[in-house]
């Protein structure tokens, strides 16, 4: 109850004279922006927008949407920003409005709470007590001072802060507990802005990149002006064959000097100069293999003459056959750019793997050099003119790449501050509730009458219990 | 066959028995002689049970507590099994275990509520939800119920706290949903006229309303804490504290829904019936966040 009356204070302040001036408009605006209704509206509308973002997949390729929803719907999605709803102007505006809302509310209501912690609340009249939600009237045998003292003692034991005023005809007491519940609510209100600020700083000054790295290579990190060497990448397996963890040993190099060395794994990143390196994924490289197994066949008889394992870019000499062969290239998904006359991998999937050999043949019947592509799925596709041999790609071991997420977020600590505020704030306001009690001890014919009343802004049920206990306690105070 | 599965099974049957007993209790119970005076919601009717009602009520409580102990034992057993097979002991590492943990938390919450407020009729609703959660868990295919090793992303000490805190908040919201339903049942009975037996048997509206509110007031900060812990974990595992993954977005949605509720409670007219309907609605959203997202939407939490 009192929550409401205090909440309304700002609006029901005496407004002078008719006519709409700046002050009236300002009051209206502040009233609107501080209102609980706006907060509820924002909470729900943000929830609805967020729901849309989970039902419709975000940041997909156009054809994914067209396939699922049709072209017309996709056009609407683009117009409404539904393919990336969390970064639309309206979603951002909603978050901004939520910040304005909570800040205005804080500005509007917190000062009153702050003041009430120090205010004199004992100058009240009897009817005020009688109008409170919980009231009682108890005749007690004893003196005014004695009874008042007993009550004060009991309340102090219960953790109440008590103010007392002793006047000739009556004693007045005011007791309060749990103001932190209200302070907590406002702490939570402030946290919204803190978190959004942290997020904003992160999106302005931070970055997120994905790096596909190969063992043994050194990569330059331009945003940190240092180098990163991938010393090792490996996968650990469980007994049942599922992946247990995957790990990369990384070395940070600055001007050639080793600055830091760490083995990262999922859930354990390396942090250097504010840049975080996460073990994010792994996979088969699409442009390199460690080793490829090749059958050398006689073109005429189709008999396998020799099987050889070719190491990446290492020359192999087959003396018996008069051959030298080098594995020079690999693509996982063969594609040919006819304009540039270039072979490339159409995707990272191993859809149509092919290797390129550099071979030199010196036999009695033939002498030639060639650089044929050998296809895993189409062994007979290309013939090497003039050669005695045909090559067949039997298998290969792709090199594993390690996928590193590289990120910097200077706003993250601010987000953690805001997070702490929101959790502590909400916990305070949920578990602690503000209670206020007023007493008047008025001497009568035999003994005194204690008039008491109390109010809470929530948790009526426990407060009622407490109030009942209190009245019983006062009854037994007598002596 | 894992030993814990047998214990989970036993838990299921015990919860079923408890639920049935609470229902029986509601029907056998004689209307209390002294109803609380209007306007004094705090003054509970001392449950004026006699004969059958007392005994059924007592047995219901005993069976519930026993079921909860069985549930605890099952979770502990599962924790040991996980230790052996999967390098973690968190017995809430997959959908099945999470469900079993939620029903554990719901029943614990209910038992505490019963001991504190001494209103057994709530059991017919809240123990019912705990039973349904356990039942839904046991309906999951066997491959969901095993203690397989965790995928690398889950293999972290964060799983102990992030998951348990979030699931506890779900349990609180489940409780609020059950109480909301109870409110609506009684409110309907009231509108039907004073003769209804339910009216005299169930606690008064204001009490149900306040208890439901309390449950949400417990769940709300828990969920906030759980989501923040998730963000911290994500910052270690995924390379960013927030990535709008369906699961995290849905937990935010649920949090916003209850945030709106908590603000609404501060304004007039949002107690009682509306709040009860809202609590039921909120619980449905929690169910979607917990189940729907896993089975209907794809995302980084898909393994949960």
Is the predicted pLDDT of residue B201 greater than 90, yes or no?
no
Q: Is B300 on the interface with A (CB under 8 A)?
A: no
Q: Tell me: do B299 and B255 sit in the same domain.
A: yes
Domain boundary among B95, B123, B150: B150
For chain B, helix (H) and strand (E) counts, in that order, are: 11, 0
Radius of gyration of the CA atoms of chain B, in A: 20
Query: Residue A420's pLDDT is what?
Result: 96
A262-290: pLDDT as tens digits: 999 988 999 999 999 999 888 888 888 88
Residue A322 confidence class, pLDDT cut points 50, 70, 90: confident
Q: Is B260 on the interface with A (CB under 8 A)?
A: yes
Residue A408 confidence class, pLDDT cut points 50, 70, 90: very high
Check CB contact under 8 Å for B152 and A430.
no
Q: Tell me: do B185 and B275 sit in the same domain.
A: yes
Mark A92-126 as b/e (b = at least 16 C-beta within 10 Å): eebbebbbbbbbbbbebbbeebeebeeeeebeeee
Mean pLDDT, range B43-70, rounded to an integer = 79
Q: Tell me: do B302 and B160 sit in the same domain.
A: yes
DSSP track, A196-265: HHHHHHHHHH-EEEEEEEETT-EEEETTTTEEEEEEEEEEEE-TTSSEEEEEEEEEEEETTEEEEEEEEE
Q: Is A150 on the interface with B (CB under 8 A)?
A: no
Q: Tell me: do B197 and B230 sit in the same domain.
A: yes
Mean pLDDT, range B66-89, rounded to an integer = 89
Nearest Cα residue to A373 out of A327, A405, A338: A327
Mean pLDDT, range A22-33, rounded to an integer = 88
| Angstroms from B260 CA to nearest CA on chain A | 5
Alpha-helical (H) ranges within A86-165 are 89-116, 126-130, 144-157
Q: What is the dihedral of CA A416, A418, A424, A428, to 10 degrees?
A: -170
Mean pLDDT, range A163-179, rounded to an integer = 88
* Full domain range(s) for residue B14: 1-150
For chain A, helix (H) and strand (E) counts, in that order, are: 11, 21
For chain A, positions 76-95, list CB contacts with chain B under 8 A. 86
Separation between Cα atoms, residue A291 and residue A327, nearest integer Å: 9
Q: Is B271 on the interface with A (CB under 8 A)?
A: no
Query: In degrees rounded to 5, what are phi and psi of residue A121?
Result: -120, 20
Q: Within its chain, how far is the Cα of A417 from the centroid?
A: 14
Separation between Cα atoms, residue A98 and residue B260, nearest integer Å: 12
Separation between Cα atoms, residue B172 and residue B156, nearest integer Å: 26
Which chain B residue's Cα is nearest to A102?
A: B263
CB A148 within 8 A of CB A173: yes
Neighbouring residues of B134: CB distance < 8 A, sequence distance ≥ 6: B8, B11, B12, B15, B71, B99, B100, B103
Residue B303 confidence class, pLDDT cut points 50, 70, 90: very low
Residue A412 confidence class, pLDDT cut points 50, 70, 90: very high
Query: Residue B40's pLDDT is what?
Result: 45
ipTM: 0.88
Domain boundary among B150, B181, B203: B150
- Considering chain B, what percentage of its residues have pLDDT values greater than 70? 88
Shortest CB distance from B221 goes to which of A40, A276, A430?
A430
CB A448 within 8 A of CB B194: no
For the purposes of burial, counting CB atoms within 10 Å of the CB of B255, is it exposed (0-12), middle (13-18) or buried (19 or more)?
buried
Residue B83 confidence class, pLDDT cut points 50, 70, 90: confident
Residue A298 confidence class, pLDDT cut points 50, 70, 90: confident
pTM for the full predicted model: 0.84
Q: Tell me: do B97 and B203 sit in the same domain.
A: no
C-alpha torsion sign, points B108, B111, B116, B120: positive
CB A103 within 8 A of CB A440: no
Is the predicted pLDDT of residue A302 greater than 90, yes or no?
no
C-alpha torsion sign, points B201, B204, B207, B211: positive
Query: Residue B46's pLDDT is what?
Result: 45
Mean pLDDT, range B137-159, rounded to an integer = 85
Partner residues linked to A357 by β-bridges: A327
Mean pLDDT, range B214-238, rounded to an integer = 94
Domain ranges of chain A: 2-100, 126-178+434-475, 205-284+402-423, 286-399
B234-259: pLDDT as tens digits: 998 888 899 898 899 999 999 999 99
Q: Tell me: do B26 and B81 sit in the same domain.
A: yes
Query: Residue A384's pLDDT is what?
Result: 83
Check CB contact under 8 Å for A422 and B241.
no
Query: Residue A3's pLDDT is what?
Result: 37
Shortest CB distance from A422 goes to which of B210, B224, B244?
B224
Which chain A residue's Cα is nearest to B265?
A: A458
Check CB contact under 8 Å for A415 and B266.
no
The highest-level CATH class for domain A126-178+434-475 is: alpha beta
Q: Is B240 on the interface with A (CB under 8 A)?
A: yes
Is the predicted pLDDT of residue B196 greater than 70, yes or no?
no
Is the predicted pLDDT of residue B299 greater than 70, yes or no?
no
Q: Tell me: do B249 and B289 sit in the same domain.
A: yes
Check CB contact under 8 Å for A43 and B263.
yes
Separation between Cα atoms, residue A209 and residue A191, nearest integer Å: 29
Q: Tell me: do B185 and B49 sit in the same domain.
A: no
Q: Tell me: do B55 and B5 sit in the same domain.
A: yes
Q: Is B28 on the interface with A (CB under 8 A)?
A: no
Q: Is A263 on the interface with B (CB under 8 A)?
A: no
Q: Is A431 on the interface with B (CB under 8 A)?
A: yes
Domain boundary among B94, B120, B150: B150
Total beta-carbon pairs less than 8 A apart between chain A and chain B: 147
Three-state DSSP class for A298?
A: strand
CB B278 within 8 A of CB B263: no
B88-143: pLDDT as tens digits: 788 888 889 999 999 999 999 999 999 988 888 899 999 999 999 999 998 888 88
Residue with tokens 């056998």: B28
CB A28 within 8 A of CB B270: no
Tally of domains in chain B? 2
Q: Tell me: do B144 and B157 sit in the same domain.
A: no
Q: Tell me: do B96 and B183 sit in the same domain.
A: no
């Amino acid at each position: 109850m009192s929550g409401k009356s205090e909440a309304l204070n700002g609006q029901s302040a005496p407004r002078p004279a008719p006519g709409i001036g700046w002050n009236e408009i300002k009051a209206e605006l502040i009233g609107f922006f501080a209102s609980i209704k706006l907060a509820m509206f924002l909470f729900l509308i943000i929830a609805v927008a967020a729901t849309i973002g989970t039902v419709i997949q975000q940041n997909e390729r156009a054809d994914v949407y067209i396939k699922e929803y049709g072209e017309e719907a996709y056009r609407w999605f683009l117009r409404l920003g539904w393919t990336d709803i969390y970064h639309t102007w309206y979603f951002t505006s909603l978050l901004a409005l939520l910040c304005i809302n909570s800040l205005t509310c804080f500005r509007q209501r917190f000062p009153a709470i702050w003041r009430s912690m120090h205010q004199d609340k004992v100058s009240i009249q009897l009817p005020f007590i009688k109008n409170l939600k919980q009231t009682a009237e108890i005749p007690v045998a004893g003196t005014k001072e004695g009874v008042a003292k007993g009550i004060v003692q009991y309340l102090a034991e219960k953790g109440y802060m008590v103010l007392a005023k002793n006047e000739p005809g009556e004693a007045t007491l005011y007791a309060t507990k749990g103001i932190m519940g209200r302070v907590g609510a406002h702490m939570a209100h402030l946290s919204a802005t803190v978190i959004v600020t942290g997020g904003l700083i992160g999106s302005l000054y931070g970055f997120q990149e994905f790096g596909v790295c190969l063992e043994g290579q050194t990569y330059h990190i331009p945003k940190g002006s240092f180098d990163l060497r991938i010393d090792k990448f490996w996968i650990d397996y469980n007994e049942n064959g599922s992946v247990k963890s995957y790990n990369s040993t990384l070395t940070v190099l600055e001007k050639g000097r080793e600055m830091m060395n760490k083995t990262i794994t999922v859930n354990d990143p390396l942090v250097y100069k504010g840049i975080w390196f996460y073990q994010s994924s792994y996979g088969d490289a699409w442009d390199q293999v460690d080793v490829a197994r090749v059958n050398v066949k006689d073109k005429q008889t189709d008999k396998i003459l020799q099987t050889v394992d070719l190491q990446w870019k290492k020359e192999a000499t087959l003396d018996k056959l008069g051959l030298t062969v080098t594995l020079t290239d690999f693509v996982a998904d063969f594609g040919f750019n006819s304009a540039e006359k270039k072979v490339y991998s159409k995707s990272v999937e191993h859809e149509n793997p092919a290797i390129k050999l550099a071979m030199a043949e010196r036999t009695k019947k033939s002498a030639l050099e060639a650089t044929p592509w050998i296809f895993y799925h189409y062994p007979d596709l290309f013939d090497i003119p003039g050669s005695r041999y045909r090559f067949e790609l039997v298998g290969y071991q792709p090199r594993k790449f390690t996928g590193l997420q590289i990120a910097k977020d200077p706003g993250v600590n601010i987000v953690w501050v805001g997070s702490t505020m929101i959790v502590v704030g909400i916990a305070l306001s949920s578990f602690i509730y503000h209670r206020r009690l007023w007493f008047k001890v008025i001497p009568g014919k035999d003994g005194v009458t204690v008039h008491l009343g109390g109010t809470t802004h929530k948790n009526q049920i426990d407060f009622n219990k407490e109030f009942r206990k209190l009245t019983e306690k006062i009854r037994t105070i007598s002596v | 066959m894992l030993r814990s599965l047998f214990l989970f099974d036993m838990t299921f049957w015990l919860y079923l028995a408890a639920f049935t007993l609470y229902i029986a209790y509601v029907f056998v119970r004689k209307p209390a002689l002294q109803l609380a005076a209007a306007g004094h919601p705090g003054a509970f009717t001392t449950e004026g049970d006699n004969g059958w009602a007392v005994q059924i009520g007592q047995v219901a409580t005993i069976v519930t507590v026993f079921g909860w102990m069985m549930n605890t034992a099952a979770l502990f057993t599962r924790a040991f099994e996980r230790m052996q097979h999967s390098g973690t002991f968190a017995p809430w590492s997959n959908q099945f275990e999470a469900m079993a943990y939620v029903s554990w938390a719901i029943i614990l919450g209910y038992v505490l509520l019963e001991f504190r407020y001494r209103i057994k009729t709530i059991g017919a609703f809240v123990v019912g939800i705990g039973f349904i959660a356990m039942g839904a868990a046991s309906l999951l295919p066997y491959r969901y119920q095993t203690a397989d090793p965790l995928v690398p992303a889950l293999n972290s000490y964060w799983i102990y706290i992030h998951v348990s805190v979030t699931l506890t908040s779900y349990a609180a919201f489940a409780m609020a949903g059950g109480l909301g339903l109870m409110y609506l049942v009684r409110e309907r009975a009231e509108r039907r006229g004073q003769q209804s037996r339910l009216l005299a048997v169930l606690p008064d509206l204001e009490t149900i309303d306040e208890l439901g509110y309390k449950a949400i007031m417990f769940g709300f900060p828990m969920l906030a804490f759980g989501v923040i812990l998730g963000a911290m974990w994500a910052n270690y595992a995924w390379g960013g504290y927030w990535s709008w993954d369906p699961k995290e977005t849905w937990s935010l949605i649920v949090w916003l829904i209850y945030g709106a509720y908590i603000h609404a409670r501060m304004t007039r007219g949002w107690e009682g019936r509306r709040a009860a309907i809202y609590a039921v609605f909120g619980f449905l959203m929690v169910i979607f966040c917990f189940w729907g997202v896993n089975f209907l939407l794809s995302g980084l939490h898909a393994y949960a």
